Structure 1
């Protein structure tokens, strides 16, 4: 299960962490880095599944993706099987929920860094 929480404070006495600094290359932005992190954590990996996930985030409005799986396959230029497998994976980790036929909602603010050009940020990722 992927949990994304916003805000809040971290108690230094209760939480220990190492800091890993990541430099974004020219042409990269926070959005592409965020997509990569979410895809890896949810078990999507790379290739066509990541392309579909990226397409879904970029074409969502307020965390809602509109369209049938077949329509998304055509729009993202991936197979229907890839869409089906990706949706199953995203739903199994709690990242995507079916609202009704042709409408899906990301459970958390997945599109938070959409179109962000921010070059410096702090992102805390807790792995259980």
Structure 2
């Protein structure tokens, strides 16, 4: 009786452990049998490792649907949009300043210094 219970338990095809409440098993592809079950974390880790977006066994392409919180607003508040835009502009200005300083050094200061040294 114990052997039949163990053999009927679904296990993850990557980590070989059973599904629990906080880590349920999913079947994201068209594989059948014992190889169809996988934890979401195991699938994500395997996809990062293999760099493939499809099941290597059945060839089914994995698709993910974002699930948003029920209390999320339909549109982002203007304050959040402005903060994101300001952050992007600040990053762009920082990179522009950095590359301008590097170009000025290599194309202006270094050649002038070398010219004065070897006179």
Report the structure, 1 or 2, having the larger helix content: 2
Q: What is the TM-score normalised by the length of structure 1?
A: 0.24
Q: What is the TM-score normalised by the length of structure 2?
A: 0.25
Report the structure, 1 or 2, having the larger strand content: 1
Larger radius of gyration between Structure 1 and Structure 2: 2
Which structure is higher in RCO with an 8 Å CA cutoff and minimum separation 6? 1
